[in-house]
Chain A
């Protein structure tokens, strides 16, 4: 279980997150959704101990993430950030093999190689395994990073926008893989996604964030409501039943409630040019 207690994050005078208190139960897929700048990544990197909270504490599987030994945490929780840059020139396989570091400290055993191959296969990277990362497309590279985190084989997996750059096929494949990992291997998966319909289709719980706090949280059915989504995303969204699933649909002509003035300004500016 992940417990978040009174967590806040401030930069200077500006509080960008919190106070947030909540729990994410063990097992299943939890999606964090919300508009840009809502604090999703901030919350996730704090849970993943990559960012120190200004106040409050987080425990994952009973370990306080700020106090526990980094290595112990790495064997239990893995996190992939939204952006990933690497100075060195690595092949896909070398990158994925790094995921085994918490278990083998760099000396790969047969067991480690098995995990690496599994993770590569899992994301359809087999044919690309010997390519260098800078020879991949954006989506392929994204899958390589996700494969590294999966090779880490941890109970808790935190992924910040794993669907970034992925086409529809690979997005669906990846979500199904994550779903399987939760159902069959009992992993706890927390992901940040922007496509609310993807979140609804694959997750057990959805946490909707807005302005640095948790606005709503509940099952997909509870969150997939026109009023809730319109409020969280600050834009008119309708929810329709399609093929037995709730589907959120945006209005192509919509103008955001609070950004109306700005938008019309821009439009008139464009029109006058």
Chain B
């Protein structure tokens, strides 16, 4: 076959630089020798080491008590890594960008607002009576319905530019938050107390009873995403090309928004709002997965989320000596990364 392409590398580079369709990309650390599978195994091994260190090192006092506490916290971190990591990657894929995240678009503020309104209209007593898993499920279902309707409308293509979307998302988030604060002022103190304990989940004092059901939901979502991994891959090509390949874009968007709302609700209910954690994890997993394929990127996001949380918690607790700081540190680093990427790309 005749060689058709004899351009020198220089000419190629010039052509690429001149092409208007070229996107500025994050620099990929080049470790081309490692296959995507090997990378997953490597990170998984690191997670296991980190988890073992976290569980068994520096135990003071009762072994059983410490392990029990740490296991609960490890469970919470697992759920947080899964929900935030996968939720953000899937959100990036269906909305075809890598900057906006569910949290930035106000998903968790919406959750807070709905919780607040529920207490406002039905009272703290109702909240206390319907305690437990049915309530958690009802709340989650409500959140999912509202978020899906709202964000489907937002992403149905009426806001041409991502910048406008970002703005709308931030404004929505702020509006939801202010409204929540306002309604919370109107609550009587007992109701407010009840609400506050519900709302501000913390990773360090997670309700252990919720972990099994949360894990079950994660498994269901995981199976669903795994079965759709190839379809998610096609969505990376954008709405039109995915449609050309026979993927019903609107249906995928709706399904994935339901999944994302579910994951965010779960995460917020369990460990409280986290704005930039999912963002960091998603961006890192694109770099480290070594492929665009969701079969690798999704597990990588989960594992990197675990690694960040477990290793971070371990270091903070035993090296720095301030165990409650983890989410603050993550939000701080994540926020800086978010702004840095925004500035560097100059566009979304």
Instruction: Tell me the B residues contacting A by CB distance below 8 Å.
Output: 1-5, 7, 11-12, 15-16, 18-19, 21-23, 25, 28, 92, 96-98, 229-231, 233-234, 236-238, 240-241, 243-248, 292
Contacts and interface: CB of A to CB of B under 8 A. Distances in A.
Interface of A: 45, 48-50, 70-75, 78-81, 83-90, 94, 98-99, 101-102, 105-107, 121, 124, 126-128, 134-141, 149, 152, 170, 173
Contact of B7 (A73, A85, A137, A149): A137
A113 to B, nearest CB: 16
A80 B240 CA distance: 9
Residue among A71, A78, A85 having the largest count of chain B Cβ atoms under 10 Å: A85
Contact of B97 (A73, A83, A87, A127): A87
Main secondary structure of the interface of B (DSSP, over half): loop
Nearest to A80: B244
B175 to A, nearest CB: 29
B14 to A, nearest CB: 9
B229 A85 contact: no
Contacts, number: 109
Nearest to A51: B240
A98 B246 contact: no
A86 B16 contact: no
A136 B231 CA distance: 26
B15 A137 contact: yes
A80 B131 CA distance: 54
Given A79-B244, A86-B238, A87-B236, A170 B4 contact: yes
Contact of B19 (A87, A107, A138, A152): A138
A187 to B, nearest CB: 16
Contact of B25 (A48, A79, A99, A134): A134
B245 A138 contact: no
Contacts of B236: 86-88, 90
Contacts of B3: 127
A49 B248 CA distance: 11
A102 B7 CA distance: 34
B292 A88 contact: yes
Residue among B1, B19, B229 having the largest count of chain A Cβ atoms under 10 Å: B19
B245 A102 contact: yes
